[in-house]
Amino acid sequence: MEIVHVSAECYPVAKAGGLGDVVGALPKYQNDLGHVAKVVMPMYRTRFLVQHDWDVVHKGYTHMGSWWFNYTVIKERTNKLGFDLYLVDIYGLLDREKIYGYSDDPERFLGFQIAVVDWIAAWSHQPDVIHVHDYHAGLIPFMLKYCHKYRFLQNIPTVLTIHNAQYQGWMGWDKSHLLPEWDSWGWGMLEWQNSINPLASAIKCAWKVTTVSWSYLDELRTAANGLEALFEYEKGKCVGILNGIDTAVWNPATDTYIENHYGPSDAADGKLKSKQILCERFDLDIDKPLIVFIGRLVGEKGADLLPQVIVDSFTHIGRTMNFLILGSGFPEVESQLDNMKGISNRDYSVYIGYNESLSHLMYAGADFILMPSRVEPCGLNQMYAMRYGTVPMVRNTGGLRDTVVDYGDPDGYGIRFNHAAVGDITQGIWRAVQLYGQESTFQRIRQTMMELDFSWETSVQHYLDLYQQLK
Ligand code: ADP
């Protein structure tokens, strides 16, 4: 099968979170099974772009409303990612450094999608599946069905994968003229609660919809940032497929970002060396358990709760643990966490920003990773952490619920708590400190986790089975 993935992110080209990791891995594993999976994404001005060689494969000319533009599609020459990677360039729209965060993001991603569909329309054949990821590619299923110019592509099956339903790409109706001329009978396929909602449109128009864990799909029927009724209505075409992790990239025995490699049998020693590097760099006490947080500092991740959790842990449990935080996001949370460096007694530090290499070192050197998420569609951090022998401390939600079993349960290996609330999280930290003190149990849990299989193999097959049903 020929599968075209359309996404705003793809590791290692451009990544802001889990979407990038998944789109950088899933096609590779699909190709390994003999299929032809490709990725098409915007041509941001990234380091990856300048460090690689490219061939121009298509030049087109189309329009977004009254604005006519040239676009260019280029392809990475060496296929080094394990799949064909295509970048779409639209001068003035996509030639920016960052992925998100511009005031014209709606126009940027709309222009990108128009160019992608226009390019596919120029192919001499049709792909077997167009697989769109999140709202940034969510208007493509609508365009294939309702835009006159592209309607001849309507028989190409489309699959939407929802990595995060919080972000939906809302646009006012004043922007409706920016879409390629469309059949006005189809307006209901764009609309949700009086605006154009690209994610809702994709849920309505795609042939199948997947979410990145089973529990998340269940939860969306009651909490989906306004789309609950739509998920309930469309449940027949929705299915949960748990993300895998790229075990070639995330492997403590070969990870190129860390110096001290290890496997399940020498984890204690290997991890200690990475912990030592972290403790020296961030002035932490190596004898205490190291609890880390890695992620976006936003409400979804429960990051706003961290300052109080840390203060309460120090006050009520004692200064018996270290905290190290890596992340960026809400400016208030960033500055609150940064200001707290003052209270450190060699037991607290923070790095504000995005740092891929530090994140790998933290997965390797930490004893515990804290994920007090309010919403977690799948969550990759806990799976990376387990592969690196780091015990996940997670809220009982979404993909965290599907991948972490509390160590108090038979065969359990993690710490789970029910509420994204300071009291519950602090209780989890108390349990972590207790567990760290039970040397043999702690080592046994570490061993168990490192041998769990979170690889893509099973999930890839589920996606392929899903595509087959669409033929
Ligand atoms: P989400 O996509 O909701 O942000 P996921 O758990 O699915 O969350 O994926 C998060 C990915 O982003 C992981 O690979 C994590 O290591 C990485 N990540 C998040 N924030 C940072 C950061 N500040 N520096 C480095 N990596 C980060």
What residue's CA is closest to ligand 1, atom 26?
A: 356
Residue ranges matching CATH 3.40.50.2000 in the chain = 2-244+456-469, 264-450
Report the pLDDT value the prediction gives residue 139, as an integer from 0 to 100: 98
State whether the beta carbon of 330 lies less than 6 angstroms from ligand 1: no
Q: Nearest Cα to 467, choosing from 13, 35, 51? A: 35
What pLDDT is stored for residue 150 in this prediction?
Answer: 98
Cis bond before residue 12 (omega within 30° of 0): yes
For ligand 1, the distance from its centroid to the CA atom of residue 144, given in whole angstroms, is 32
DSSP label of 256: T
The pLDDT assigned to 471 comes to: 84
Model pLDDT, residue 237: 97
DSSP state of 437: H
Partnered with residue 290 across adjacent β-strands are: 322
In the CATH scheme, what is the code of domain 2-244+456-469?
3.40.50.2000
pLDDT along the chain (471 residues), means of 10: 98 95 96 97 97 98 98 96 98 96 96 98 98 98 98 98 97 97 97 97 98 97 97 97 94 97 96 98 98 97 98 98 98 98 97 97 98 97 98 98 96 96 98 97 96 93 96 84
- Ligand 1: which atom is nearest the Cα of residue 371? 6
Q: Measured in angstroms, how far is the CA atom of residue 199 from the centroid of ligand 1?
A: 22
Cα–Cα distance measured from residue 63 to residue 159, given in angstroms and rounded to the nearest whole number: 25
Alpha carbon of 134 to ligand 1 centroid (Å): 16
Q: What is the pLDDT of residue 349?
A: 98
Q: Which residue in the block uniquely carries the two structure tokens 């729209």? A: 93
CB of residue 18 inside a 6 A radius of ligand 1:
yes
Q: Is the CB of 17 under 6 A from ligand 1?
A: yes
* Ligand 1 atom closest to residue 351's alpha carbon, by position in its atom list: 23
- Whose tokens are 């120029």? That residue is 122
Q: Work out which ligand 1 atom sits closest to the CA atom of 212.
A: 7
Place of tokens 């080094």: 80
Strands 129-133 and 158-162: parallel
Q: Does domain 264-450 have CATH number 3.40.50.2000?
A: yes
What is the Cα 325 distance to its own chain's centre?
19
